[in-house]
Amino acid sequence: MEKPMNHHLGHSDQAPAIIDLFRRTFTQSEGAEEGHLIATLAHQLIEQTDEADRLVWVAENREGIQGCVIFSRLHGTGTDQAFLMAPVAVCPTQQRKGIGQAMIQAGLSALLARNTDWVLTYGDPAYYARTGFRPILETQLPPPYPLSFPQGWLGQSLTQTPLPTLNEPLRCVPALQNPAYW
């Protein structure tokens, strides 16, 4: 029997479990080096990014944290109400059960409640399309760094206003200011 999943804002005392989730998930799917890289990113986003500039959203059941998505503020948008969704992880034993999609939708709803206008992400277009993300051109919303996988540059408006077109690259929080992530 599946245990019920709760989606909620992550708490600072959950940081070690969240970081371990990212390490385990990315090590299993991409190898130890990527697991370490993404765990380090999660640590920096949680521990070194101002709370006003990030939202950590978790999926948790009685067995612990099963998923996490981290949103961080983007600047240079003409508004401070834009966020980047990265990284995202679901425990390998819990994948393909809809947990990630439900967690992302709950996180997007939390951002909308905080007056966020739009969200971008960088990843698998087929997966993120299930939660409303659509491909965008680098010329429309220039990323902070050159993309190694341009078709993975995705976005969605959380309001009725379409995504803007910008002339300058977006600026991300310091934790994401590493070309290795892009």
According to CATH, the topology of domain 6-173 is Aminopeptidase (3.40.630)
In this predicted structure, the answer to whether residue 102 has a pLDDT above a threshold of 80 is yes
Question: How much is the pLDDT for 3?
Answer: 65
Run of H or E including 55? strand 54-61
Run of H or E including 38? helix 32-48
For 156, the token pair is: 């969605």
Question: How much is the pLDDT for 4?
Answer: 80
Q: Give the number of other Cβ atoms within 10 Å of residue 93's Cβ.
A: 10
The Cβ-side half-sphere exposure at 66, using a 13 Å CA radius, reads 23
Question: How much is the pLDDT for 123?
Answer: 95
pLDDT tens digits, residue range 2-61? 568 899 999 889 999 999 999 999 999 999 999 999 999 999 999 999 999 999 999 999
Nearest alpha-carbon partner for 87 in 118, 47, 46:
46
Delimit the domains of the chain by residue range: 6-173
pLDDT tens digits, residue range 65-74? 999 999 999 9
Positive or negative, the CA dihedral 11, 132, 155, 78 is negative
Question: How much is the pLDDT for 76?
Answer: 84
